[in-house]
Amino acid sequence: MAVLAGVFLLKNWLNPPVEVQLATASLTSPSQANAVLTASGYVVARRKAAVASKGTGRLVFLGVEEGDKVKKGQIIARLEEADVVAARDRARENLRLAEADLYDAKKNLERTRILLKQNAIAQVELDVADARYKRVIATIEAAKHGLKEAEVAVEYTRIIAPFDGTVLKKNADVGEIVAPLAGAASSKAAVVTIADMSSLEVDADVSEANITRVASEQSCEIALDAYPQQRYPGYVTNIVPTADRAKATVLVKIRFKSYDQRVLPEMGAKITFLAPGSSVDGADIKPVLTVPAAAVGTRDSRQVVFQIKDERAIEVPVTTGKKLGSLVEITGGLKEGDKVISKADDQIKAGAKVAVGKSK
């Protein structure tokens, strides 16, 4: 037994295992080969509004819930309106009364002119009749403005959608007091928050040191944290001309070229800025399975990668596609998550003894 143990130890000493590193077969976007910079950000709606009322009152009707779609001009909610409706009706009656006075003042002025031509009255009476007629006309104009003011006050009790959009948040419920400035703790300012879901874009913070790599209209690739395997094409629309001194970053706005209903405001996103002149189309944003190019070797005119089983290297034949920078596309032989030896050099052969070393 001692002799066998010695032979075993001598064999291991003369034939030590090859130290290797492992790499994981993972999905990669083909456009990553043209990546010059990555940044993090959030999806935001370019058109977003907290819809409130200019009037103050109790909310008596709310016709939407979160997620509802609204059209421009649609009545979203109503405040109690009994007082302003009464004021509008009073203003309308004041206008009718002034119009009735106008008829009488006009007829009186016409009779006065006839009598003056007949020398039946003095000039002063015509002046009085004319002044009354003009005063009634002015009263009518004031009554019209008063009616308009009362009608506007009624309109202020109706909360209307300013544009086509989707309700993101309901801030008040029926029975609560709504006030323009919401000075009281129990009152609400905005009733609902709506956003135009066709105006979504991404706000990304780019380090000051890397802002020179970003240019207007530069192509980008957007990956949402919620759907990391899905990629969306985009481009830079605006580099905000100021920096955040606390974070040492510059705000960059990226617009989607296309996106689906899964993209929602406030979602986290990763943005990959591509090299100038690069473009992103539908084929570019579909991820492909990749491994490091060095992990693929040629044995007996076959392309292979090596995996580890029982501390031995085993050959796995693969088929490859296009090269993506330091990576190569694998079209057959592996699946996502498979571990392979990261460098298939001449030391790595089928059956070779290997040991996984510490990553550098």
pLDDT in tens, 40-87: 999 999 999 988 888 788 889 999 999 899 999 999 999 998 888 999
CATH number for 82-155 (one of 1.10.287.470, 3.40.50.720, 3.50.50.60, 3.90.1170.50): it is 1.10.287.470
Q: Which residue has the higher pLDDT, 23 or 28?
A: 23
Selection from 256, 328, 337, 265 nearest residue 292 by Cα: 328
Share of the chain above pLDDT 70, in %: 91
Query: Predicted confidence band at 224 (pLDDT cuts at 50, 70, 90)?
Result: very high
Q: What φ, ψ does residue 297 adopt, rounded to 5°?
A: -120, 170
Note the pLDDT of residue 344: 86
Tell me the average pLDDT across 305-325. 88
Token pair 């009994």 in the structure block, residue: 82
- What is the residue-averaged pLDDT of the chain? 86
DSSP 270-326: EEEEEPTT----TTTTS-EEEEEGGG-EEETTEEEEEEEETTEEEEEE-EEEEEETT
Note the pLDDT of residue 122: 86
Which fold would CATH assign to domain 49-80+157-195? OB fold (Dihydrolipoamide Acetyltransferase, E2P) (2.40.50)
Q: How do the domains of the chain map onto residue ranges?
A: 18-30+287-356, 32-47+198-274, 49-80+157-195, 82-155
Maximal C-alpha separation, the chain = 155
Give the Cα separation of 54 and 156 in Å (integer).
6
Q: What φ, ψ does residue 148 adopt, rounded to 5°?
A: -60, -40
DSSP 150-170: HHHHHHTTEEE-SSSEEEEEE
Tell me the average pLDDT across 207-221. 91
Q: Which residue has the higher pLDDT, 68 or 356?
A: 68
Are 116 and 125 within 8 A, CB to CB? Answer: yes
CATH number for the domain running over 32-47+198-274: 2.40.30.170
Q: Which of 137-141, 228-232, 283-287 has the highest mean pLDDT?
A: 137-141
Q: Is the pLDDT of residue 218 over 60?
A: yes
Domain 18-30+287-356: CATH architecture, name and number where available:
Beta Barrel (2.40)
Tell me the average pLDDT across 209-231. 90
Are 219 and 279 within 8 A, CB to CB? Answer: yes
pLDDT digits (tens, 9 = 90+) for 119-138: 888 888 888 888 988 998 99
Q: Is the pLDDT of residue 9 over 80?
A: no
Note the pLDDT of residue 266: 92
Share of the chain above pLDDT 90, in %: 38
Give the Cα separation of 191 and 152 in Å (integer).
19
Query: Predicted confidence band at 184 (pLDDT cuts at 50, 70, 90)?
Result: very low
